[in-house]
Structure 1
Amino acid sequence: MSSDRSIDNEVKHPIRVGILGFGGLGQAAACVLAPKREALWVAGADRQGYAYNPTGLNPDECIATYNQQGSLGYLKPDGFLGDRSIEEAIENATTVEGYFLALPNLPNTFMASVARQFIEMGWQGVLVDALKRTSAVEQLLELQDELQAAGITYMTGCGATPGLLTAAAAIAAQSYEEIHSVKITFGVGIANWEAYRATIREDIAHMPGYDVEKARQMSDAQVEALLDKTNGILQLEDMEHADDIMLELAGIVSRDRVSVGGIVDTRNPKKPLSTNVRLTGRTFEGKISTHTFTLGDETSMAANVCGPAFGYLKAGIALNRRGIHGLFSAVEVMPQFLH
């Protein structure tokens, strides 16, 4: 590719970005955006309030305010407190072109309900999520006609898995005549589970004897008691992960041939195992072979979720500006690198 084409592919004006949710993932997203020249973080919201500055928010100030006082709404002078923070952010942060929905999908209908809020409020632009569960993506599929009519370009399943690893599987599939299996195995290491409370609860919901509602209702003390029993380790197998529906809808492989599982260490930042996707298939010559794509152990969960999410947001902006709206998954569109 010529350098001229690469330059043409860059965003001419910084994309005004909002982040909904400001726990561990939302805070990491703000830090990922900070050095980008093609994007400007202008709005953030949590349960109790939101902050908005059309010239840009300072991640360090926002993180300090949130961690000390519990909400971006306390940020001076750009914070606003209120119990309708998402609606108020959508209504008042008028320059935002794309939102990263760094929200906990607890209950399992939450992300679809947020998408419906954007539709009902007449907002137009790009939405990106890092949804995990197949059933949550199925709920968004029911909204695809409404999203298209509303002028919203919605990119779903755009984190690590689903997301980066699912897209890698889609590319790996091109070598084969028939796909026999896709196996995604992840290792996550975090020093302190409290930095990613919602993410850990979503993982617990995949464990035997638990579901989304039970995990959502667990107190922090109950989560800590469970982690004490497991020495901080969550071992997850045959998870309900949207990689399956994304690959099936793309016509690559039936969902029953896709499996996702892994190990989360909530007390150690070092990954307990390397994250990878293995795709096995039959080539046109009749050979059975496996492609493996492995993520570097040094890359964190936050890097592997937020980086792809913003790459897909940039791709979504390009589609939206061409008048292409509706619902797309990480398998259907290539992310664009956000400089």
Structure 2
Amino acid sequence: MNGDRTKSSTTSTPTRVGVLGFGGLGQAAARLIAPKQEMQLVAVADLKGYAYTSAGLDLDKCLAAYQSQGSVGYIEAGGTLSNQSIQELIEVSADVDGYFLALPNLPNTFIASVAQLFIKSGWRGVLVDAIKRTSAVEQLLELKAQLLAAGITYLSGCGATPGLLTAAAALAAQSYAEIHQVKITFGVGIANWEAYRATIREDIAHLPGYSTESARAMTDEEVEALLDKTNGVLTLENMEHADDVMLELAGICDRDRVTVGGVVDTRNPKKPLSTNVQVTGRTFEGKISTHTFTLGDETSMAANVCGPAFGYLKSGVSLHRRGIYGLFTAAEIMPQFVK
């Protein structure tokens, strides 16, 4: 199994990776991996099927099958239609080194339930998610001992926020003796909300009067009606975002000092505002100051989520090959760049 390998990550053999979920984020993840030399996409699962071949999947065929027929399961070489796609893929893909869980966390217990499938299967390797909610990460924390015993290295909250911005906050915090506030503000621009249906529903779940359950139950027509009322813009404040528990676990600051909010424009690819994290604190000399880390407006949500996710997956593989298993977060481990 994977945990017994001694090969170095610097060898010419690429890391075999899979993507669970093939909506907007999953497809972007597959596109990001395609030109990489250090990683090879060998497994993909969607709601209606999966595709797996140890020789590597053809990205164009995966995209064509999903977009024309609704599932990668229709691919001739390696495709399988299934209503239990994730579970079946796990069973037939023991040689996959790591998976990016590009899955919607609706319901809020979904990611933890997928982690349990991996634990029960006997598979050993690396799992990375781009989870959002604090309560969802807390569910994974309850599985920490089981993940360790199963020989799984799991890195949680490894997207943009939580993820890239959380890690930046952890690094920026080093200038201070005490952290007063971590404020994360994001701007997302997409031309068509239907390309990221699950992500938008997760955002809607953060609006007053909505929950993960009610957002999940909304039809596309109901989502469109809501967006019509807001001119396509969602303004989110004081979100339940796992940046808080991740920074608390890393010893940076108490979770009540972390706030996350942002603006999502579902009808314009241009960001409505620049995504940034501000870390305010007191230095050892007694000075109060603020570090600000701002993402370039030209970088998309997909770039800022999928890039870090695979960077953390590479770090996870390095840890796993050294026999280090269990649960970690983006605030504890530095991502490695995937070439």
TM superposition score normalised by structure 2: 0.97
Q: Structure 1 residues 194, 326: closer, same or farther in 2, change over 3 A?
A: same
The CA distance in 2 between the partners of 1:323 and 1:122, in whole Å, is: 16
The aligned amino acid for 1:63 is L
Question: In 2, are the aligned partners of 1:98 and 1:317 still within 8 Å (CA)?
Answer: yes
1:270 alignment partner, SS class:
coil
2:66 alignment partner, SS class:
helix
Q: What does residue range 1-339 of structure 1 map to in structure 2 within 5 Å?
A: 10=10, 12-339=12-339
The aligned amino acid for 2:68 is Q
Q: Which runs of 5+ in 2 are unaligned?
A: 1-7
The CA distance in 1 between the partners of 2:76 and 2:177, in whole Å, is: 58
Q: Structure 1 residues 23, 146: closer, same or farther in 2, change over 3 A?
A: same
Q: How far apart are 1:300 and its partner, in Å?
A: 0.2
Q: Structure 1 residues 11, 108: closer, same or farther in 2, change over 3 A?
A: farther
The CA distance in 1 between the partners of 2:137 and 2:30, in whole Å, is: 25
TM-superposition CA deviations, 1:220-241 (whole Å, max 9, x none): 0000000000000000000000
Stretch moving more, 305-314 or 83-92? 83-92
The aligned amino acid for 1:94 is A
Question: In 1, are the aligned partners of 2:48 and 2:73 still within 8 Å (CA)?
Answer: yes
The CA distance in 1 between the partners of 2:323 and 2:227, in whole Å, is: 48
2:5 is aligned to none
Q: Which runs of 5+ in 1 are unaligned?
A: 1-7
2:4 is aligned to none
Q: Structure 1 residues 98, 138: closer, same or farther in 2, change over 3 A?
A: same
1:112 alignment partner, SS class:
helix
Q: How far apart are 1:60 and its partner, in Å?
A: 1.8
TM-superposition CA deviations, 1:266-300 (whole Å, max 9, x none): 00000000000000000000000000000000000
Q: How far apart are 1:55 and its partner, in Å?
A: 1.1
The aligned amino acid for 2:152 is I
Question: In 2, are the aligned partners of 1:144 and 1:326 still within 8 Å (CA)?
Answer: yes
The CA distance in 2 between the partners of 1:254 and 1:94, in whole Å, is: 40
2:18 alignment partner, SS class:
strand
1:99 alignment partner, SS class:
strand
TM superposition score normalised by structure 1: 0.97
Question: In 2, are the aligned partners of 1:48 and 1:85 still within 8 Å (CA)?
Answer: yes
What is the identity percentage for the equivalent residue pairs of Structure 1 and Structure 2?
A: 73
1:263 alignment partner, SS class:
strand
CA RMSD of aligned residues (A): 0.9
Q: How far apart are 1:12 and its partner, in Å?
A: 4.1
1:28 alignment partner, SS class:
helix
1:103 alignment partner, SS class:
coil
1:35 alignment partner, SS class:
coil
1:316 alignment partner, SS class:
helix
Question: In 1, are the aligned partners of 2:9 and 2:318 still within 8 Å (CA)?
Answer: no
The CA distance in 2 between the partners of 1:9 and 1:292, in whole Å, is: 34
Q: How far apart are 1:123 and its partner, in Å?
A: 0.8
Question: In 1, are the aligned partners of 2:94 and 2:123 still within 8 Å (CA)?
Answer: no
The CA distance in 1 between the partners of 2:10 and 2:184, in whole Å, is: 32
Q: How far apart are 1:10 and its partner, in Å?
A: 3.6
The aligned amino acid for 1:182 is V
Question: In 2, are the aligned partners of 1:27 and 1:59 still within 8 Å (CA)?
Answer: no
